[in-house]
């Protein structure tokens, strides 16, 4: 069985580096594809070719993205039959209640506020990878 990958949608270079480091430290063997804005995320998921692109095991989605925001990316993911069941974890620094509610209204699978503390951030990302890649079962 081919290993699925993680799609990390994050525009902050420091958060990308920390996330990749946390996955490496927890020995997550799955590759991580990084895109830096909402348009790139949608292009990655839907492509422009006739052949459907490979689907990630999970999408880690920031909300505050350039070009197309994270909530709009989530809205489009849920609107498409080919991706509506794709696990999407909101991984954001936003503690705004409206962002939390909007994410769950759009059927996010989880909402995680990025811890400010380095060790807590590393632990949170490591747990994310282990849960979504090893424990969680997704629809075929």
Domains and CATH numbers, the chain: 6-135 (3.40.50.2300)
CA separation for the pair 125, 140 (Å, rounded): 25
Contacts of residue 104, defined as CB under 8 A and 6 or more positions apart, other chains included, come to: 111
CA separation for the pair 90, 103 (Å, rounded): 8
**Residue 138, pLDDT score:** 78
- Give 60's strand partners: 8, 89
pTM: 0.91
**Residue 1, pLDDT score:** 41
pLDDT tens profile 98-131: 999 999 999 999 999 988 888 888 888 888 888 8
pLDDT tens profile 21-47: 988 888 888 899 999 999 999 999 998
CA-based nearest residue to 71, from 46, 93, 38, 44: 38
């Amino acid at each position: 069985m081919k290993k699925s990958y993680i799609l990390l949608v994050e525009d902050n270079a420091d958060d990308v580096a920390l996330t990749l480091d946390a996955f490496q430290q927890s020995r997550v063997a799955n590759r991580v594809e990084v895109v830096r804005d909402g348009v790139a995320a949608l292009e990655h998921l839907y492509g422009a070719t006739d052949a459907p692109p490979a689907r990630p095991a999970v999408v880690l989605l920031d909300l505050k993205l350039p070009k197309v925001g994270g909530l709009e990316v989530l809205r489009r993911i849920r609107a498409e039959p080919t991706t509506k069941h794709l696990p999407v974890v909101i991984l954001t620094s936003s503690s705004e209640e409206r962002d939390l509610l909007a994410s769950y209204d759009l059927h996010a699978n989880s909402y995680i506020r990025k811890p400010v503390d380095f060790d807590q951030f590393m632990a949170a990302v490591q747990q994310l990878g282990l849960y979504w890649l090893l424990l969680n079962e997704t629809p075929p």
